[in-house]
């Protein structure tokens, strides 16, 4: 007699779906590492371009390899005119809807489309990483009634994005802050969007389809929208609010069992290691801009949450004020997440291709008892 199947785990929590050499998580100890490199070391010392190489090749680049990658990204960053026309033609609306469409449209202008060789797929991964930032910046400009800005080949990935979005060459401090933000968001093991991308790639669909699937999953508010919700909450409280009002609003939310965005995590039982860096960046950018209130309000909210719920801030909480101080509008917060995470998505897709097996889990059936008696239409 066959033993009954164990009950399904809701949301696949704790289920190991694959093996991967890209990202290591230890939620109990608050450890996040890319290919064995601790996120704190990478945030302190690396650039986003170095991290891209690390995710794709599972090792840091040599100086020559980094220069080659920087050149490849620079050469792919400019968008073809038909893509810019599409950006202008899309109706106003949700920026993630636009990004999903544009990520798919990029496939039509990829010279390696249809080539399934590892070399072509890698070139597409580099190209997509370069272009997704350009797409988001162009959409942000057009949505604000402004013209897209051409990339500057002398600037790195982070600085180029800020230039193409704001129209102004960023300061070294702003560029480095955004560079760190891109590093922190680049990968996070089998999160929902990465898993969606891997499932798509496992059918041997193309990379653009896998990335579009990732964008679609990221759009969901349970995955990619928390930092926008954090900033909207701060704005509703008001930048001029005193600490008493901040505490009153948060305690009222808790009393009404309203979720306070930016707190808690499915994996971490300690502080999200990414929040450590974003907290510091929020403070430093605020001090330089003479606008420390968003940071101070965030610290007060964090104190209340620890006191009342013993819960820690996650990556989204301080990224909200950090992005705002960098001049990024709230409606672009989730697309900016994709500007970074595309490096991780493509790394996982390439890894899936290299050792592929169709991802096809089973479901525990809990529907009507089998067998049911079929009643003809006339008798129903």
Point out the residues that are catalytic.
265, 316
Q: How far is CA 330 from the centre of its chain?
A: 15
**Residue among 86, 92, 52 nearest 69 (CA):** 52
Strand partners, 33: 24, 38
């Amino acid at each position: 007699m066959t033993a009954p199947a164990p009950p399904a785990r809701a949301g696949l929590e704790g289920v190991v779906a694959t093996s991967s050499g890209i990202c290591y998580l230890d939620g109990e100890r608050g450890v996040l590492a890319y290919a064995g490199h601790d996120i704190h070391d990478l945030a302190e010392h690396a650039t986003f371009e170095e991290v891209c190489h690390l995710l794709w090749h599972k090792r840091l680049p040599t100086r020559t390899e980094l220069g080659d990658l920087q050149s490849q990204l620079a050469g792919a960053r400019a968008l073809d005119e038909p893509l810019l026309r599409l950006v202008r033609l899309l109706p106003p609306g949700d920026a993630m809807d636009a990004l999903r469409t544009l990520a798919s449209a990029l496939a039509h202008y990829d010279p390696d489309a249809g080539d399934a060789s590892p070399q072509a797929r890698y070139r597409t991964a580099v190209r997509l990483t370069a272009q997704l930032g350009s797409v988001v910046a162009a959409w942000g400009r057009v949505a604000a009634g402004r013209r897209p800005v051409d990339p500057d080949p002398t600037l790195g990935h982070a600085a180029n994005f800020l230039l193409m979005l704001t129209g102004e060459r960023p300061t070294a401090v702003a560029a480095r802050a955004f560079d760190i933000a891109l590093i922190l968001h680049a990968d996070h093991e089998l999160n929902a969007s990465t898993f969606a991308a891997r499932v798509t790639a496992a059918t041997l669909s193309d990379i653009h389809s896998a990335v579009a699937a990732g964008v679609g999953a990221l759009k969901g508010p349970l995955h990619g929208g928390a930092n926008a919700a954090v900033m909207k909450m701060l704005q509703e409280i008001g930048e001029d609010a005193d600490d008493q009002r901040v505490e009153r609003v948060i305690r009222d939310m808790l009393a009404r069992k309203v979720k306070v965005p930016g707190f808690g995590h499915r994996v971490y039982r300690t502080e999200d290691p990414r929040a450590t860096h974003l907290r510091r960046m929020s403070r430093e950018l605020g001090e330089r801009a003479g606008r420390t209130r968003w940071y101070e309000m965030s610290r007060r909210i964090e104190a209340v949450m620890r006191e009342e719920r013993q819960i820690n801030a996650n990556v989204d909480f301080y990224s909200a004020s950090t992005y705002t101080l960098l001049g990024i509008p709230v409606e672009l917060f989730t697309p900016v997440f994709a500007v970074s995470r595309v490096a991780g998505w493509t790394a996982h897709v390439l890894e899936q291709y290299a050792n592929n097996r169709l991802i096809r889990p089973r479901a525990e059936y809990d529907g009507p008892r089998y067998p049911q008696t079929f009643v003809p239409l006339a008798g129903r």
